Amino acid sequence: MDATRWTQINALFNAVLEQPVTTRDAFLQTACKDDPDLLAEVRSLLAADADAHPLFDSLALDAMVLPADLLPEGILPAAGERVGPYRIVRPLGHGGMGAVFLAERADGQFEQQVALKLIRNGAGSAQIVRRFQSERQILARLQHPHIARLLDGGLTEDGRPFFAMEYIDGVPLDQYCEAHGSTIEERIQLIRVACDAVQSAHRQLVVHRDLKPANILVTSDGQVKLLDFGIAKMLSGVDHAIGDPMNNPALTQTGHAVMTPAYAAPEQLRHEPVSTATDVYALGIVLYELLVGERPFDFSGCSPAEIERIVSSQPPRLPSMAAPANRKRQLKGDLDTIVLKALRKEPERRYASAEALAADLQRHVDGRPVQARPDTAGYRTRKFIQRHRAGVTTTAAVLVLIAALVSFYTTQLAQERDRAQLEAVTATQVSGFLQDLFAMSDPSETGGTEVTARMLLDEGAARIERELTGQPAVQARMMQVMGEVYLTVGALDAADPLLERSLTLRRTLPDAPPLDVAASLSSLAGLRYETGAYATADSLYRAALTIQEEHQGPDDPVVAATLHRLGWVLFRQGKFEQADALYQRALAIRTTQFGEADPQTASTLSHIAGLRYEQDDLDAAETLYRRALSVRQAHFEKDHRDVATSLNDLAMVLGDKGAFDEAEAYYREALAMRERLYDGHHADVAHSLSTLAHLYWLKREYATAEPFARRGLAMRIDVFGEEHLATAASMATLSRILDALGDHAEAADIARRALEIIKATMGAEHPYVASFHSLLAAALHAAGTLTDAEHHYRQSLTLNRTLFPEGNTTMIGALTGLGGLLMETGRPAEVEPLLREAIALAINRWSEDHWQVPDLRSRLGASLTEAGRYAEAEPLLVESHATLLTSLGPDHARVLRAQERLDRLYALRGHQP
């Protein structure tokens, strides 16, 4: 593209934006009728305009805050400058702690070249120097041919700490191996030497804490030298030994660590006590890197919290799987096992010492059996479930299920096979499963790896079918678990046959435990609910409930869980009272069994709050949502899916109550939390976006609302597809906003589509169908399509009257709208009963004083005026005008309208009072 073409695009882009939204595309097509490329380009830019990159989100960019290491070279001394008793010769490099220089004694006392490490300026310099003085005795004892000696330390003139070390003319370990094309055996040999040096320091009770190739140099004659022993500890924050170090061979200290994240052990990243096992872990990473050619984890673009999560939870890929093809064979087996043992997440499960790691490496080289054993599936699963008990993402939930599944697989089948052999095989399968599934949580890979996860699941399902036919009890259980996994990842079609067969198998087995049958019934009910077959879900849950009550008694947590789920099925069908009764029973059981402050109790509370909201009891809903929120916040303590849900729910009620600012704050908090939890793209993020858009609509900030509504809708279509209740809800929000922005045609199109979706998903007899008829009617009304609008207003009212013989406040909008339409089409006589019904509902909903009531009375007065019933109209118009004036002030649009209606009465009647 050239600048001339760009000018043309520029002009057209701006011209299109000046058109009303409805005619933009037609305008564009006319302008580009001979130039399809131009049409495509401008359309694409308009799409990008509607969905701008988040970098440009902020409307008023106040400031950019820069990190302190923006200009690291700015603080370095130049050659010839003095630092303490040393004179700088030349820089050697710089790292996280500061810069390193080649330096020599400036006072001529010795002819010695040193590596001078200048620590970046910062707080605590004096403390570092004090620590140096207390540590130097210990460090002086570190005399080992493969450890570079620490010679001196002090403060520079401007108060920065420096250390002088024996200068080693060598290259980092990884570069050395690369440059010399070292074989696997040679690399192992170098690591073994490093292990010996580390072990000798550990004997002196010195932990390195920052081992990495850059700190393991190899000289030109092939000698390994470890740098920086003891430095990291001196630079750490407040340290204190845990227990007596002399009696505790595994030195442990805590404090703010100096470390390199790529080589840091999980405990280091969590700022937990470090020990000799921390150095073993770092040696494991270095070993991995030397053998494979890359490190086990890629942290590019990760935040510190993400790094911590990866290192704490993600198993490293097997070296033999990660290595280039020509090395795979050599690494498979012993070396895989040795590396993974050094890299265990739990310090106590790594090699007990660097020496033990070196010894196992030597055994491998000698061809003797190594002592490390593959990780066991059972242990891994237990730890995994412990870690993810408060699991934060769907992925984690899937993983828990997968882990449970594989663990089950192991324990059940082990009866018939050699247990140890099976554990070894399964451990490999587990790590493979988990690795690939963990990749799903990487947002940049979501598209690709979902396939991978699905393929793995399919393979698991096929294996259950193939290999377990002789064990129907095991097979039924596996099918249920597997079906649940499919259900969790949304693969409903795959879940169906598994859950059906699980139930059939258990029902036909003579000795199947009844509770297992109930579990299968419940799982299948969950699937039927997801596919919208509510009646089937209902009867399946009830069948499960009968079995559970019979065998566990009426007050068992299992019963509560089923009551809760069944309640939800009824809730979603609009059967609020039946749902309420079930929830109350579930709540009573859970409160007794788990207490008030339990997340399961909070979950039922939260559902009851949702019911109250649907039933229009906003005060009760607010109270219950606040209780659920505080229980969840106290229980989870940090970001969690359920906390975000509670925040969002509470905000929704507050928004409806008119507490907009508080609602906005909660919505924003929920949105931010969900974006953190799900990396920005998820059903819950879409929910937050749509609800926030709805709030801005309530606040009449329509232009602010629109982009949130569009992003929310696009994300929901992406996640759920079109035919889904949630998608229809987002459409409703967007339709209302567009209506308010004056784009009635698009608003009506969207509302019509939403109504179709609601009918298809909820059935024709649902309260939502009435609401969506009303929504569509309002949009059509505004667009001037009056016949159609009237039809939908009446559909809405008819359905509402069938479902709610006592009346329902959602009818007020339809009644008022239809009243207005009848006035516009010259049928004022039909308006009176509609508005009287609306007034009664409004008084019931709010109170006599609420501005909606006089506003409706004013409208009623206007209809009476037009029908020629002046005497009845006058008191209504006068009183409602006065009331509105008092509550809204003289300039409010509704007050002005009331005044106009009064004026119209006097104009028609011919005289003032």
Residues labelled as active-site residues: 210
Residue 70 CB, nearest distance to other proteins (Å)?
5
CA distance 347 to 349: 5
Q: How far apart, in whole angstroms, are the C-alpha atoms of residue 773 and residue 752?
A: 8
Please report how close the Cβ of residue 103 comes to other proteins at its closest, in angstroms.
21
Among the listed residues 60, 325, 871, 893, the single contact to other proteins using CB under 8 A: 60
The owner of tokens 């059996």 is: 369
907 near other proteins, rule: CB under 8 A: no
Residues 68-97 within binding reach of other proteins (CB under 8 A): 68, 70-71, 74-75, 96
66 binds other proteins (CB under 8 A): yes
Smallest distance from other proteins to CB 688, Å: 13
- Is residue 63 at the binding interface for other proteins, with CB under 8 A as the rule? yes
Q: Which amino acid is at 469?
A: T
> Contact between 25 and other proteins (CB under 8 A)?
no
Which residue, 145 or 159, is less far from other proteins as judged by CB? 159
Give 445's DSSP letter: G
- What token pair was written down for 497? 């046959």
Provide the token pair at 546.
Answer: 């009968």
- Under the binding rule (CB under 8 A), the answer on residue 301 touching other proteins is yes
69/900 with CB nearer other proteins:
69
3-state secondary structure 405-430: HHHHHHHHHHHHCCHHHHHHHHHHHH
Q: What is the DSSP letter of 238?
A: S
Indicate which single residue of 35, 37, 51, 107 sits in contact with other proteins (rule: CB under 8 A): 51
Distance CA 320, CA 299 (A): 21
Shortest distance, position 563 Cβ to other proteins, whole Å: 40
44 binds other proteins (CB under 8 A): yes
Question: Looking at 121-129, 362-370, 413-421, 472-480, which segment touches other proteins (CB under 8 A)?
Answer: 121-129
The residues, ordered by sequence, that sit 6+ positions from 701 with a Cβ below 8 Å of its Cβ are none
Nearer Cβ to other proteins (127/899): 127
**Residues with Cβ within 8 Å of residue 680, at least 6 apart in sequence:** 443
* Alpha-carbon span 469 to 461, nearest angstrom: 12
Task: Out of 24, 82, 120, 327, point to the residue binding other proteins (CB under 8 A).
Answer: 120
Q: Which of 21, 46, 138, 683 binds other proteins (CB under 8 A)?
A: 46
Which token pair is 802? 């069938």
Q: Which of residues 435-494 bind other proteins (CB under 8 A)?
A: 436, 439, 444-445, 448-449, 452, 455-456
Select the span of 52-60, 378-386, 712-720, 821-829 touching other proteins (CB under 8 A). Answer: 52-60
CB 627 within 8 A of CB 621: no
The answer to the question of residue 110 lying near other proteins (CB under 8 A) is no
- Does position 52 interact with other proteins (CB under 8 A)? The reply is yes
Closest CA to 251 of 266, 237, 240: 240
Q: How many residues bind other proteins (CB under 8 A)?
A: 67
Annotate each residue in 666-685 with x if it binds other proteins (CB under 8 A) or - if it does not, as one string. --x---x-------------
Binding range to other proteins, per CB under 8 A, among 48-56, 197-205, 496-504, 517-525: 48-56
Residue 261 binds other proteins (CB under 8 A): yes
How crowded is residue 887: how many other Cβ atoms within 10 Å of its Cβ? 15
With binding defined as CB under 8 A, does residue 215 bind other proteins? no
* 8 Å CB contact between 413 and 367: no
Per CB under 8 A, does 324 bind other proteins? Answer: no
Helix (H, G, I), strand (E, B) or coil at 113: strand
Stretch that binds other proteins, among 119-127, 143-151, 507-515, 810-818 (CB under 8 A): 119-127
* Residue 358 token pair: 């070196």
Least distance between other proteins and beta carbon 46 (Å): 7
Please state, in angstroms and rounded to a whole number, the distance separating the CA atoms of residues 899 and 888.
13
Reported as half-sphere exposure (CB side, CA atoms, 13 A), residue 694 has a value of 24
* Nearest-approach distance from CB 442 to other proteins, in angstroms: 9
Question: Are the beta carbons of 387 and 345 closer than 8 angstroms?
Answer: no
Minimum CB separation of residue 157 from other proteins in Å reads 12
Walk across the sheet containing 224-226 and list its strands.
170-172, 216-219, 224-226
**Subset of residues 127 to 186 that bind other proteins, contact rule: CB under 8 A:** 158
Q: How far is the CB of 672 from other proteins (least distance, A)?
A: 6
User: Does 57 sit near other proteins (CB under 8 A)?
Assistant: yes
Nearest alpha carbon to residue 612 among 588, 655, 583, 641: 583
Separation of alpha carbons 353 and 334, rounded Å: 18
CA-to-CA distance for 824 and 817, rounded, in angstroms?
Answer: 11
**Residue 794 backbone dihedrals phi, psi, to 5 degrees:** -70, -40
Q: Is 121 in the site for other proteins (CB under 8 A)?
A: yes
H/E segment holding residue 194 = helix 184-203
- For residues 771 and 810, what is the distance between their CA atoms, to the nearest angstrom? 7
Asked whether position 325 contacts other proteins by CB under 8 A, the answer is: no
Please, what is the minimum distance in Å from the beta carbon of residue 174 to other proteins?
11
Positions in the binding site for other proteins (CB under 8 A):
1-3, 6, 10, 13-14, 17, 44-46, 48-49, 51-68, 70-71, 74-75, 96, 120-123, 158, 260-262, 295, 298-304, 306-307, 321, 432, 436, 439, 444-445, 448-449, 452, 455-456, 668, 672
